[in-house]
Amino acid sequence: MKIKPKLQKKTIKPSKNSVFHRRLDYQYPVIDHGKGIYLYDESGKKYIDAVGGALVANIGHGVKEISQAIAKLTKRFGFIHASQFTTRHMEEYAKELCRIAPKGLNKVYFTLGGSDSVETAIKLARQYHYDLGNKGKYKIIYTYPSYHGATLGALAVTPKKSFREIYEPYLAKHPKIPSYFCYRCPFKKTYPGCDMECAWELEKTIKKNGANKIATFIIEPIVGASAGAVVPPKEYFPIVRKICDKYNILLIADEIMSGFGRTGKWYACQHFGLEPDILISGKGISGGLVPLSAVFCTDKIFQAIKKGTGNFSHGFTYVNNVITTGVGKAVLEYVKNKKLVDNCAEKGKYLYSKLCGLAKEFEIIGDVRGKGLMTAIEFVKNRKTKEPFPRKLHLAERILQTAMKKGLNLYFCLGFADGVNGDAIMVAPPFAVTKSEIDKIIKILSDSIREIQKTL
């Protein structure tokens, strides 16, 4: 008797299975494998991963060179504790990373993900001041909109109400200021005739709280998922850098999303000549293959801690890990050899021009923004007034769902216009994307917008 092969179910409902999924209201497609910018589910359906998950799968899926590197590493090493041993490849990798980082960053502490990197960075800033005898400096100035992570320290400097609300009793209080956001200027001004009020707000807030209380200012050099690829005006960071220096405040650049080549330079800071005191890089630094991130700092910070307490009073089991740093090194070599950062810059221009084309076609697209392969489109009800769609319409989510049905994976950004409303979609494909693949992305995106626009 011939036994029929059992067909796998196309999707999985979180309530029916044992995994505690991130989304409990969603039917998960079950992915079988990936190749390049594509993912394939168990029924054979093909998806273009036009955001590399969440700007993580930067070298694409199923990369042979990296799977070989992982096999070699795991043959040679098991777990090695960071307080007991080091390895040659980790030492070399750190040097190579510092060489391509913004000037002045010459020490690197390897972490796991973005949130624990933010914890590491803010503790590093605090210990720097503590070790120099400035024990009153502990507050962190942060911006809105922004996203810095889900752990309690990172959430304390992440402004979004819906993320914070439940955990508010756990969160330390820190001062927040409006971010640069020219399309929706918080001061209702128009660049360039705005005197960069958003940057000077930092100084006002320092004076209000007392410089002797402020340890650090944390900011994304290009705002990621909280508002969708918002790029600062060129004057912003020179002003902010000067203010931080004047009041002895360390500047943390959160490049978890924008870093490691995504914007067409190794780091977004390098577009603006910004030399931060601490920089964090994650997501695509390992191509998403292992949990790896990096916290860079200057020698000034390292020496203050060495001469002060003597050690950084911090650590996780998996920091400075032999396997993850080995994978990171292989990914760095791959990105360099294939000149993928240059491809981000070049294909980014093409993608941006195509998104501008969509904005000509659809009245509901109010803004196109971004740098390199980190781009977004914002939807508005009224182009003139920039009035957002009411949140209850779930516009961005519906466009995303429609695109997913058509085989395109995108990323949405919500609530940035006024804390509740605001719909944007990010398009940020893997670095080796070709022009014809961008054309395919734009075609499905355009069909999806058209389909939803009809229902408005």
Q: Which residue has the tokens 């093409």?
A: 350
Closest contact distance (angstroms) between CB of 275 and ligand PLP is 19
- The reply to whether 113 sits near ligand PLP by the rule CB under 6 A is yes
CB 436 within 8 A of CB 401: no
- The reply to whether 324 sits near ligand PLP by the rule CB under 6 A is no
SS3 (DSSP) at 231: coil
Residue 207, CA atoms < 13 Å, CB-side half-sphere: 6
Q: Which is nearer to ligand PLP, 59 or 257 (CB)?
A: 257
| CA 303 to each of CA 3, 278, 292, 300: distance values in angstroms, whole numbers, following the listed order | 69, 14, 25, 5
In the set 145, 221, 224, 276, which binds ligand PLP (CB under 6 A)?
A: 224
Closest contact distance (angstroms) between CB of 308 and ligand PLP is 27
Q: Which is nearer to ligand PLP, 126 or 148 (CB)?
A: 148
Q: Which is nearer to ligand PLP, 220 or 437 (CB)?
A: 220
Closest contact distance (angstroms) between CB of 161 and ligand PLP is 18
- The reply to whether 259 sits near ligand PLP by the rule CB under 6 A is no
- The reply to whether 215 sits near ligand PLP by the rule CB under 6 A is no
List the structure tokens of 155: 């959430």
- Which of 197-205, 250-258, 300-308, 365-373 is the region at the interface with ligand PLP (rule: CB under 6 A)? 250-258
DSSP 122-146: HHHHHHHHHHTT-TT--EEEEEES-
In degrees rounded to 5, what are phi and psi of residue 49? -90, 85
- The reply to whether 220 sits near ligand PLP by the rule CB under 6 A is yes
Closest contact distance (angstroms) between CB of 255 and ligand PLP is 7
Question: Under 8 Å CB-to-CB from 349, ≥6 apart: which residues?
Answer: none
- The reply to whether 149 sits near ligand PLP by the rule CB under 6 A is yes
In the set 221, 282, 288, 328, which binds ligand PLP (CB under 6 A)?
A: 282
- Which of 74-82, 192-200, 218-226, 316-324 is the region at the interface with ligand PLP (rule: CB under 6 A)? 218-226
Nearest residue to 326 via CA among 384, 278, 286:
286
Give the footprint of ligand PLP on residues 357-376 (CB under 6 A): none
CB 348 within 8 A of CB 372: yes
Q: Which is nearer to ligand PLP, 39 or 256 (CB)?
A: 256
Closest CB to ligand PLP: residue number: 114
In the set 61, 139, 148, 347, which binds ligand PLP (CB under 6 A)?
A: 148
Q: Which is nearer to ligand PLP, 282 or 326 (CB)?
A: 282
Number of other residues whose CB lies within 10 A of the CB of residue 427: 27
- The reply to whether 115 sits near ligand PLP by the rule CB under 6 A is yes
Give the footprint of ligand PLP on residues 160-199 (CB under 6 A): none
Task: Report d(CA 407, CA 7) in Å as an integer.
Answer: 20
| CA 201 to each of CA 122, 195, 198, 226: distance values in angstroms, whole numbers, following the listed order | 21, 11, 5, 20
| CA 320 to each of CA 85, 92, 278, 323, 366: distance values in angstroms, whole numbers, following the listed order | 10, 13, 17, 9, 44
For the chain, the 3-state helix, strand and coil shares in percent, each to the nearest 5, are 40, 20, 40
Residues in the chain: 456
- The reply to whether 118 sits near ligand PLP by the rule CB under 6 A is yes
Q: Which is nearer to ligand PLP, 231 or 257 (CB)?
A: 257
In the set 73, 125, 202, 225, which binds ligand PLP (CB under 6 A)?
A: 225
- The reply to whether 257 sits near ligand PLP by the rule CB under 6 A is yes
Binding site for ligand PLP (CB under 6 A): 54, 113-115, 118, 147-149, 220, 224-225, 254, 256-257, 282
